[in-house]
């Protein structure tokens, strides 16, 4: 295996998996001090290493996953954790038509039926005319028929209430991101929850 081609799992400062990068990127983040290496070898718990500490750890490392320079060897990390606030990726779901549809699982929140994208609308639970905001908490997915029926009425007036109370969704689960198709290292299992059968373990 080409050592440089292996993948490194990137955790944010809250130890949540946020990305996967290549070894070159991981090592450069380590050496500029933007990331620490997470060592999962120890039974007792995870240890983090900054660049200096990882260098000395690497000296005694006997495994095969190493980078060599003239006088040193560097063990290839499998997980790094970001140390800087400005390195926190903006993972927050953006409020838009598509993400509301996804949150509501393409299901009309009034009649409970599932629809295709083009058959769906966004509905303001409290109508805009009556001061309702365009927000996660006041907008739901609605089929065109229900949307027309509800029109500018309040839920009580229309006798139509959303099936689920609309709220801001939590972060998009990491495994749904296109970049993560498989787990490259067994150590990642500590941090990534897999939907059964969808992602295979490659080593
Ligand atoms: Zn409907």
**Domain holding 141: CATH number?**
1.10.30.50
**Is the distance from CB of 203 to CB of 125 less than 8 angstroms?**
no
- State in Å: Cα 143 to ligand 1 middle: 4
Instruction: Calculate how far, in angstroms, residue 109's C-alpha sits from the geometric centre of ligand 1.
Output: 7
Question: Same structural domain for residues 84 and 12?
Answer: yes
Q: 114: CA distance to ligand 1 center in Å?
A: 8
The answer to whether position 167 is within a domain reads no
- List residues bridging with 9 in a β-sheet: 20, 79
CB 36 within 8 A of CB 30: yes
Distance from the alpha carbon of residue 181 to the mean position of ligand 1, in angstroms? 35
Regarding pTM above 0.85, the answer is: no
pLDDT at residue 118 tops 80: yes
CA distance 117 to 6: 38
User: Domain limits at 86?
Assistant: 3-90+172-201
Q: How far is the CA of 147 from the centre of ligand 1 (A)?
A: 7
Same domain? For 124 and 182 the reply is no
Is 163 within the bounds of a domain? no
Give residue 146 CA to ligand 1 midpoint distance, Å.
4
Dist. CA 79–CA 38, nearest whole Å: 5
CA of 139 to the centre of ligand 1 (A): 14
* Number of separate domains in the chain: 2
My answer on whether 138 and 176 are in the same domain is no
The string of pLDDT tens digits covering residues 119-158 is: 999 999 999 999 999 999 999 999 999 999 999 999 999 9
Question: Do 54 and 7 share a structural domain?
Answer: yes
Q: Does residue 85 share a domain with residue 10?
A: yes
In this structure, are 64 and 112 located in the same domain?
no
- Together in a domain, 55 and 30: yes
Confidence band for 110, pLDDT divided at 50, 70 and 90:
very high
For 171-203, what is each residue's pLDDT tens digit? Answer: 555 544 444 556 677 888 777 765 444 444 444
Q: How far is the CA of 145 from the centre of ligand 1 (A)?
A: 6
Using CA atoms, how far residue 162 sits from 112, 159, 168, 203, in Å, is 9, 10, 15, 46
Q: How far is the CA of 71 from the centre of ligand 1 (A)?
A: 68
Instruction: For residues 106 and 97, give the distance between their C-alpha atoms in angstroms, rounded to a whole number.
Output: 11
Q: What is the pLDDT of residue 190?
A: 77
Reading the block at residue 155, the tokens are 């839920």
């Amino acid at each position: 295996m080409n050592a440089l081609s292996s993948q490194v799992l990137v955790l944010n400062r809250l130890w949540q998996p946020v990305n996967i990068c290549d070894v070159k990127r991981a090592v450069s983040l380590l050496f500029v001090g933007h990331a620490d290496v997470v060592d999962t070898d120890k039974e007792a718990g995870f240890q983090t290493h900054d660049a200096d500490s990882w260098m000395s750890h690497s000296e005694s490392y006997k495994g095969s996953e190493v980078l060599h320079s003239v006088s040193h060897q560097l063990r290839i990390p499998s997980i790094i954790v970001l140390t800087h606030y400005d390195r926190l990726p903006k993972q927050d779901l953006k409020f838009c038509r598509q993400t509301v549809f996804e949150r509501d699982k393409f299901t009309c929140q009034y009649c409970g039926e599932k629809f295709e994208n083009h058959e769906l609308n966004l509905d303001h639970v409290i109508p805009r005319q009556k001061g309702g905001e365009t927000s996660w908490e006041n907008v739901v997915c609605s089929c065109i028929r229900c949307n027309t029926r509800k029109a500018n009425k309040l839920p009580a007036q229309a006798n139509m209430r959303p099936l689920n109370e609309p709220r801001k969704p939590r972060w998009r689960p990491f495994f749904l991101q296109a970049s993560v198709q498989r787990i490259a290292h067994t150590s990642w299992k500590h941090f990534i929850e897999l939907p059964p059968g969808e992602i295979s373990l490659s080593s």
